[in-house]
């Protein structure tokens, strides 16, 4: 277990928030005894025993062990046959009340609660408590003893211990029994193996029986999890991949602390890491990972020729200073903070302004390398008004940020208020879930309704946690009504609307009027984020700020303090959460972001999934994660330090080529695992690979048009939406890192092979293909212009594409009130629909046309014969600009042959298209 609880009476919010992070207050109820109470399966084996079981320690865990409180039985929200238990236990009052309804106090042995599970009467759930078993005896003795509830002031659960603490297997089928010991804060310890539930995180490597016996399977490593009461404890289990483990492990140099900790784990597994990758592989990999940009061909040549031993660390530093770095990692932070146009509707008068300002706010801080804790403090403690500012003053300040020539910008504001203004982030319970996801990397959804099945959070803990957000309000296009300022604010808003000719209650078309006024820099009502005083948040209860004997709100304790947190004493109840997140002893804040950033450089996080840092989901290398999190804090939450530390390690720079010892392992970082490029990076890579030399030279610095600068989430039929959606751009709709999809699909293949957007990139004016044509024939551009004039316009896009673009333009025209243009667009839409409904007959294929599936020929490119030496140079350039390396002899020979015909330029186009469609291009390796 990763922590020690401090007190049983703790109404668990503090312990659970800290459950993955650090120690708790030491118990003061009693010194721990060395004596361990024997397990219940021995003590209740004799039916004549007179011992009375404890409701919390024995009866409720037994219900969980035999499945009575599972979701498919009495733990469901509807219960079964009129009888309901709390799902996974821990609501002792509900469970005792439910059981009492089925207990006959005068004739205990005739109690339905005993007859049903023993199948003395019909029971749909089978026979979980067969007569004569220790389980039946335990439950019977509890009923015979009067079915006592959990007594007031009972000792609290402290921690769960599993022995052995780690398991190492040597052969398949080997078995090791576990012993589970519960520690209580009165100093007692009990063997609860027979009352615990067990789970193997990877049963192919290690399975576990209901009795807690672990059996070895395939080589590898995993964890076996024990569950008892509110405790969750993980035991690492491994079986080496080879006989090179421990003393037989080869002597390797660990250049960095990361390499040292990675190799410590590999040594146990007998797993030898792959060699360090080539310079070409490293440059392409690190350029895409840090800056989301392919390296330039000349950059590759210079880097390979550079003989300095520190050239890789120099390149990392160089990339970290580019605007492209800030853009890529701003997109990453927008993912986890939830920047979504769909959720920001009406957060500002101008549609889509909020998502752009959200992006710019984060970008400015990433580019300035603001420490991560300070950056997120601006999110967590954000409020709209400055001290002493009226609502009118605030709206005037917001208006100064709009218009064609804004006097100020939202990025200079101290707080990211839009984070709290999302449509799916308005209720306190939604904020508790989203806050835990973003800043702590944990999933709290389960605890909203019942005991968390994989962590120590209970429903009561969840309710206490959401109390930190009860007083936070975000009002859209209106002031927050708070004590002492509401009436004046409402009057100011009414006056602003009257100036625009609008009524107080906005209707559909009024939003457009507001948007146009805001776009022109006029004064309009603004959305506001505020924190209410305690009495305003809950007017039925007085604030009572000064009485330390009375627990205020619903939080008992937080941090490592023994006294209850008095939330009413804080002007902003989010402040103690921020203080705790920044506390070096907790580390959950730093562990969450370190793990997520690690996953961006590798194919997975140290903890995977990266948003599930629960007790039942330990990391593959916990010492590595703890060390990085600790040093991240020691280095001032410096994000660039973290990037340097990861990218500068041999673990990151390993080759993707496996060896015999590590080919079956993909979770211990012994080799690189190829991974598909993120949607934005891949679309930018297509643009970069097809760009002319002048455009490409500045792509690290010039972010115009880059997909990594797209702020929110693609909506509807926006032209940019399709490619991003195809390749799994994060939809930012729920609190889950799974909103971004790395999975391949057939649609992605079709997009790269056939989509009009890809061909538009290849064939664009001033692109690389155009540049090659101009180089090969000095007068090619002039001749091409003459052919354009003679042949008319270029071929149109497919009808479906034109229809989508026209419909998008129609929506824009209507939104901006351009009725004449809208009418013209409607006529064009009707014509395109007629064209779709009545397509022309297929044209017969000419003998000289390319085979089906090849890139369609650009008709305006002149046929040019290319000399062999020139062809070799063009081929090298094509490989360098797409794959970041030179072709091998076989690849070069095949490409030279393809370019040797009468139409060599068409061959260049086909070569570029083919390289864009290789697996090597779309993955980072």
Cβ pair 27, 590 in contact under 8 A:
no
* Contacts (Cβ under 8 Å, ≥6 apart) of 381: 415, 572, 574, 575, 578
Does the pLDDT of residue 719 top 70, yes or no? Answer: no
Name the residue with higher pLDDT: 21 or 117. Answer: 117
> Rg for the chain (alpha carbons), in Å?
33
Q: Which of 284, 311, 278, 310 is nearest to 297 (CA)?
A: 284
Distances, alpha carbon 348 to alpha carbons 337, 353, 416, 511, 587, in Å? 18, 7, 13, 10, 36
pLDDT in tens, 528-568: 999 998 866 654 444 433 333 333 333 434 443 445 678 88
Q: How confident is the model at residue 634 (pLDDT cuts 50, 70, 90)?
A: very high
* Diameter over CA atoms, the chain: 107
Cβ pair 768, 692 in contact under 8 A:
yes
CA distance 184 to 57: 10
pLDDT in tens, 37-75: 999 999 999 999 999 999 999 999 998 888 787 666 765
Helix axis angle for 799-815 and 819-837, nearest 10°, is 160
Please write down the HEC assignment for all residues of 581-634.
HHCCCCCHHHHHHHHHHHHHHCCCCCCCCCCCCCCCCCCCCHHHHHHHHHHHHH
CA distance 591 to 576: 19
CA distance 474 to 529: 4
CA distance 68 to 62: 9
The pLDDT score that the predictor gives to residue 406 is 87
pLDDT in tens, 581-592: 888 887 888 999
The domains found in the chain, sorted by start residue, are 2-144 (no CATH), 157-220+233-240 (2.60.40), 279-321+585-676 (no CATH), 339-547+557-582 (no CATH)
Q: Which two tokens stand for residue 695?
A: 């455009």
Q: Residue 219, Cβ neighbours under 10 Å: how many?
A: 19
Does the pLDDT of residue 600 top 90, yes or no? Answer: yes
The pLDDT score that the predictor gives to residue 15 is 34
Q: Which of 666, 649, 909 is nearest to 772 (CA)?
A: 909
Q: Residue 520, Cβ neighbours under 10 Å: how many?
A: 12
CA distance 266 to 244: 10
Q: Which two tokens stand for residue 123?
A: 């029971």
The pLDDT score that the predictor gives to residue 793 is 58
The pLDDT score that the predictor gives to residue 8 is 30
The pLDDT score that the predictor gives to residue 680 is 95
Q: Residue 184, Cβ neighbours under 10 Å: how many?
A: 24
The pLDDT score that the predictor gives to residue 558 is 41
Name the residue with higher pLDDT: 156 or 218. Answer: 218
Name the residue with higher pLDDT: 34 or 792. Answer: 34
Does the pLDDT of residue 697 top 70, yes or no? Answer: yes
pLDDT in tens, 307-335: 999 999 999 999 999 999 999 999 999 99
Burial class of 386 by CB neighbour count within 10 A (0 to 12, 13 to 18, 19+):
exposed
The pLDDT score that the predictor gives to residue 562 is 42
pLDDT in tens, 359-389: 999 999 999 999 999 999 999 999 999 998 9
Does the pLDDT of residue 863 top 80, yes or no? Answer: no
pLDDT in tens, 383-415: 999 998 999 999 999 999 987 788 999 999 999
Percentage of the chain exceeding pLDDT 90: 55
Does the pLDDT of residue 114 top 50, yes or no? Answer: yes
Cβ pair 551, 544 in contact under 8 A:
no
Distance of alpha carbon 72 from its chain centroid, rounded?
30
β-strand pairing of 167-168 with 157-163: unpaired
CA distance 613 to 35: 33
Burial class of 534 by CB neighbour count within 10 A (0 to 12, 13 to 18, 19+):
buried
CA distance 337 to 819: 38
- Residues 801-829: what's their mean pLDDT? 80
β-strand pairing of 528-531 with 472-475: antiparallel
Instruction: Print burial letters for 569-579: b (CB count within 10 Å at least 16), e (below 16).
Output: ebebbbbbbbe
pLDDT in tens, 743-785: 999 999 999 999 999 999 999 888 999 999 888 866 445 555 6
- Residues 92-121: what's their mean pLDDT? 84
pTM for this model (two decimals): 0.85
Q: Which of 2, 195, 8 is nearest to 616 (CA)?
A: 2
Q: Which of 29, 34, 23 is nearest to 7 (CA)?
A: 29
**What is the CB-side half-sphere exposure of residue 135 using CA atoms within 13 A?**
20
Q: How confident is the model at residue 788 (pLDDT cuts 50, 70, 90)?
A: low
Q: Average pLDDT over the chain, rounded to whole?
A: 85
Angle at 267 between CA 612 and CA 630, to 5 degrees: 45
Q: How confident is the model at residue 667 (pLDDT cuts 50, 70, 90)?
A: very high
Q: How confident is the model at residue 16 (pLDDT cuts 50, 70, 90)?
A: very low
Name the residue with higher pLDDT: 482 or 436. Answer: 436
Q: Write down how long the chain is.
A: 925
């Amino acid at each position: 277990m990763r922590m020690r609880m401090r007190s049983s009476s703790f109404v668990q919010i503090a312990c659970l928030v800290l459950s993955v992070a650090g120690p708790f207050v030491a118990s003061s109820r009693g010194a721990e005894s060395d004596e361990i109470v024997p397990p219940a399966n021995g003590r209740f084996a004799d039916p004549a025993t007179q011992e009375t079981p404890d409701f919390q320690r024995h009866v409720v865990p037994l219900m969980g062990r035999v499945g009575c409180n599972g979701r498919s039985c009495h733990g469901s929200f509807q219960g079964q046959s009129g009888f309901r238990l709390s799902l996974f236990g821990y609501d002792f009052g509900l469970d005792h009340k439910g059981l009492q309804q089925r207990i006959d106090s005068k004739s205990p042995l005739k109690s339905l609660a005993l007859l049903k599970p023993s199948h003395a009467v019909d029971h749909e759930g089978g026979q979980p408590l067969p007569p004569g078993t220790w389980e039946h005896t335990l439950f019977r003795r509890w009923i015979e003893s009067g079915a006592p509830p959990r007594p007031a002031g009972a000792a609290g659960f402290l921690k769960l211990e599993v022995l052995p603490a780690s398991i190492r297997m040597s052969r398949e089928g080997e078995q090791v029994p576990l012993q589970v010991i519960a520690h209580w804060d009165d100093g007692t310890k009990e063997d609860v193996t027979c009352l615990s539930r067990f789970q193997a995180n990877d049963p192919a490597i290690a399975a576990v029986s209901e009795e807690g016996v672990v059996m070895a399977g395939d080589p590898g490593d995993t964890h076996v999890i024990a569950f008892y009461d509110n405790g969750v404890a993980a035991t690492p289990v491994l079986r080496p991949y080879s006989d090179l483990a421990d003393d037989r492990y080869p002597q390797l140099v660990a250049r960095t602390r990361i390499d040292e900790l990675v190799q410590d784990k590999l040594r146990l597994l007998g797993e030898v890491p792959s060699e360090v990758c080539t310079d070409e592989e490293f440059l392409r990999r690190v350029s895409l990972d840090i800056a989301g940009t392919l390296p330039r061909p000349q950059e590759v040549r210079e880097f390979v020729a550079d003989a300095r031993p520190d050239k890789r660390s120099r390149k990392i530093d160089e990339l970290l200073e580019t605007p492209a770095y800030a853009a890529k990692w701003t997109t990453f932070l927008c993912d986890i903070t939830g920047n979504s146009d769909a959720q920001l509707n009406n957060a500002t008068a101008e549609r889509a302004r909020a998502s752009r300002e959200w992006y710019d706010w984060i970008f400015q801080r990433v580019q300035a390398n603001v420490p991560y804790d300070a950056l997120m403090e601006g999110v967590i403690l954000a409020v709209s008004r400055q001290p002493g500012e009226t609502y009118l003053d605030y709206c005037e300040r917001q208006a100064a940020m709009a218009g064609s020539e804004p006097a100020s910008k939202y990025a200079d504001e101290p707080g990211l208020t839009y984070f709290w203004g999302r449509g799916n982030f308005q209720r306190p319970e939604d904020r508790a879930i989203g806050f835990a996801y973003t800043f702590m990397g944990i999933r709290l959804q389960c605890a909203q309704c019942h005991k968390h099945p994989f962590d120590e959070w209970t429903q009561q803990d969840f309710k206490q946690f959401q109390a930190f957000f009860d007083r936070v309000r975000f009002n859209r296009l209106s002031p927050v009504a708070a004590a002492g300022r509401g009436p004046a604010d409402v009057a100011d808003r009414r006056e602003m609307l009257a100036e625009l000719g609008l009524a107080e209650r906005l209707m559909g078309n009024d939003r457009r009027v507001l948007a146009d006024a805001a776009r022109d820099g006029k004064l309009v009502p603004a959305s506001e984020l505020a924190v209410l005083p305690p009495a305003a948040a809950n007017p039925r209860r007085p604030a009572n700020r000064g009485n330390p004997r009375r627990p205020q709100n619903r939080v008992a304790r937080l941090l490592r303090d023994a006294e209850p947190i008095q939330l009413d004493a804080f002007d902003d109840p989010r402040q103690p959460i921020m203080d705790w997140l920044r506390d070096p002893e907790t580390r959950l804040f730093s562990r969450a972001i370190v793990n997520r950033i690690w996953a961006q450089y590798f194919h997975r996080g140290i903890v995977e999934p990266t948003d599930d840092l629960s007790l039942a989901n330990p990391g593959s290398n916990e010492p590595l994660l703890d060390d990085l999190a600790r040093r991240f804090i020691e280095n001032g939450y410096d994000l660039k330090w973290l990037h340097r530390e990861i990218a500068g390690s041999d673990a990151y720079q390993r080759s993707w080529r496996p060896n015999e010892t590590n080919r079956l392992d993909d979770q211990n970082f012994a080799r690189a695992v190829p991974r598909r490029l993120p949607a934005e990076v891949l679309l930018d890579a297509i643009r970069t690979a097809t760009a002319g030399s002048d455009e490409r030279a500045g792509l690290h610095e010039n972010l115009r048009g880059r997909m990594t600068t797209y702020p929110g989430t693609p909506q509807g039929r926006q032209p940019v939406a399709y490619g991003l959606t195809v390749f799994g751009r994060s939809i930012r709709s729920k609190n889950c890192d799974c909103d971004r999809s790395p999975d391949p699909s057939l649609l992605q293949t079709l997009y790269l092979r056939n989509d009009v957007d890809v061909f538009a990139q290849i064939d664009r004016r001033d692109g690389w293909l155009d540049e090659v044509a101009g180089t090969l024939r000095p007068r090619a551009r002039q001749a091409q212009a003459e052919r354009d004039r003679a042949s008319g316009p270029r071929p149109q896009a497919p009808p479906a594409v034109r229809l989508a673009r026209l419909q998008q333009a129609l929506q824009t025209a209507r939104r901006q009130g351009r009725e004449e243009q809208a009418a013209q667009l409607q006529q064009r839409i009707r014509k395109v629909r007629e064209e779709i409904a009545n397509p022309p007959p297929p044209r017969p294929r000419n003998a000289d046309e390319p085979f089906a599936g090849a890139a369609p020929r650009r008709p305006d490119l002149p046929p040019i014969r290319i000399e062999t030496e020139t062809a070799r140079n063009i081929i090298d350039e094509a490989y360098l600009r797409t794959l970041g390396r030179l072709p091998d002899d076989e690849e070069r020979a095949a490409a030279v042959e393809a370019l040797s015909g009468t139409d060599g330029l068409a061959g260049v186009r086909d070569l570029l298209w083919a390289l864009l469609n290789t697996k090597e291009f779309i993955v980072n390796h």
